Structure 1
Amino acid sequence: MSSRRGAGEENILAMLERDAARRSGTRMTSPRLAWYCAAAAFSGILVGAVAWLAYDNHETATAMQVQVQAERVAEADTVTPAPADAPAPAPAAPAPAPAVIVDQPHS
């Protein structure tokens, strides 16, 4: 290969500058733009769903707390405390049986 250029060849730096200028004005391709829009919409839907679930969970938890508190108040009104008796001792557990060796014959 010779280091001398022929008459038909252009300056390489000029070619690179034209190529960079041509590429800087290009827009995003349609499939890539569609993927970006779909990803943004999907992430927005996920954020909305999580926010809705968190809000719905708050409402449900509040309703359940009110219901449980009402039940506790109703139980406290109807149940009378048991008289304080002396505590009974716990029943004694039977003593464990000794281990039996199964694989040796009895003599």
Structure 2
Amino acid sequence: MGFICFPPSYKQIDADIYPRMNRYRIVVSDLKKHISIWFGGKDRSEESMDKFYQYIEEKASKNIGLAVMDMWKPFEKSAKKNIPQVAILYDKFHVIKHLGDAF
């Protein structure tokens, strides 16, 4: 279960660990308005991410043009399945980390 305020045009997907719960939850943010719009899922799985797209339904998901996320494959797979029109941008932290690991 999650909540949403409005359908976003540009969103950021991240999973944060909550020590008290000892588990991950997915946080989706609107990048234009700089606010979190959905908090949900039971873990970092593709199925948990799919819940966001089910919640906002197809009409709202067509408005999403850009998804910023880390390089977590389940998030990418869910985005490609549910919002195939979207451009995916990997967040700079993970891109720089991979570049650093290469040297």
TM-score normalised by L of structure 2: 0.18
Q: Which has the larger radius of gyration?
A: 1
Which has the bigger relative contact order, CA under 8 A and spacing at least 6?
A: 2
Q: Which has the higher strand share?
A: 2
